């Protein structure tokens, strides 16, 4: 998979290169739609862009296969929620540790969404506020086991794996295993996509 970065500061570009053990192709600024890549993973320093360029990038990413990793000097839950909601695959601190950035990129390569717990919970809560997810419909349609449905019900309430484990009296590892099975059966890539799937099921059930 090809790597790209959008950043004005050379020190940040070097830092990212060291974390990735590769030198991402650097997209020139100011941004233009024709010069933006359409696939691969793109790390972007949010403070390197003005508001118009941010809008251009998010709109471009939404319509193609580019996986956007947004890194901010001052991460904010509301900002992160909006960026993830608009299609970015990861949101975090510009100066995240090398190991955490590597973990972030691995998650994005797998097709997962990566962000701090506060941001992800905020995204989930916002989506869940819009619907009453028909978990039983999903369970029947995709052939989920009784235990997988129990996990799904808890996840759809917007709680973390730790809370799910405590409520169902199982380990977090078991919760993750059930979640993997649920995502496999439904074809959803992550929790956000699972909730969007629930939204579609709700509309179809009406």
**DSSP assignment of 9-23:** -HHHHHHHHHHHTS-
Among 71, 74, 40, which Cα is nearest to 54's?
Answer: 71
CATH 1.10.10.10 applies to domain 130-205: yes
8 Å CB contact between 91 and 83: yes
Q: What is the pLDDT of residue 127?
A: 63
Per-residue model confidence as pLDDT tens digits over 97-142? 999 999 899 889 888 888 887 777 676 666 666 655 555 667 888 8
CATH number (3.10.450.50, 3.40.50.2300, 3.40.640.10, 3.40.50.1470) of 3-115 reads: 3.40.50.2300
Mean pLDDT rounded to a whole number for the chain: 85
pLDDT of residue 130: 60
Q: Tens of pLDDT along 40-83? A: 999 999 999 999 999 999 999 877 889 999 999 999 988 998 89
Q: Is the pLDDT reported for residue 153 higher than 60? A: yes
pLDDT at 204 over 70: no
Looking at residue 206, its pLDDT comes to 44
- Sign, CA dihedral 56-61-63-64, equals positive
Give the start-to-end residue ranges of the domains of the chain. 3-115, 130-205
Residue burial 134-149, b: 16+ Cβ < 10 Å; e: rest? bbeebbeebebeeebb
């Amino acid at each position: 998979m090809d790597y790209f970065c959008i950043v004005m500061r050379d020190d940040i570009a070097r830092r990212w290169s060291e974390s990735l053990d590769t030198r991402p192709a650097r997209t020139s600024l100011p941004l233009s739609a024709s010069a933006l890549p359409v696939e691969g993973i793109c790390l972007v320093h949010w403070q390197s862009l003005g508001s118009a360029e941010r809008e251009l990038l998010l709109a471009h990413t939404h319509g193609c296969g580019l996986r956007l990793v947004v890194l901010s000097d001052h991460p904010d839950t509301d900002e992160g929620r909006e960026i993830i909601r608009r299609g970015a695959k990861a949101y975090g601190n510009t100066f995240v540790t090398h190991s955490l950035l590597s973990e972030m990129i691995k998650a994005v390569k797998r097709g997962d969404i990566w962000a701090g717990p506060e941001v992800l919970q905020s995204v989930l809560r916002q989506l869940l506020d819009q619907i009453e997810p028909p978990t039983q419909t999903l369970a029947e349609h995709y052939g989920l086991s009784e235990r997988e449905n129990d996990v799904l019900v808890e996840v759809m309430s917007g709680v973390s794996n730790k809370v799910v484990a405590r409520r169902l009296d199982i380990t977090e590892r078991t919760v993750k295993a059930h979640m993997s099975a649920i995502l496999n059966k439904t074809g959803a890539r992550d929790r956000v996509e699972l909730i969007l799937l629930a939204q579609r099921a709700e509309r179809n059930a009406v």
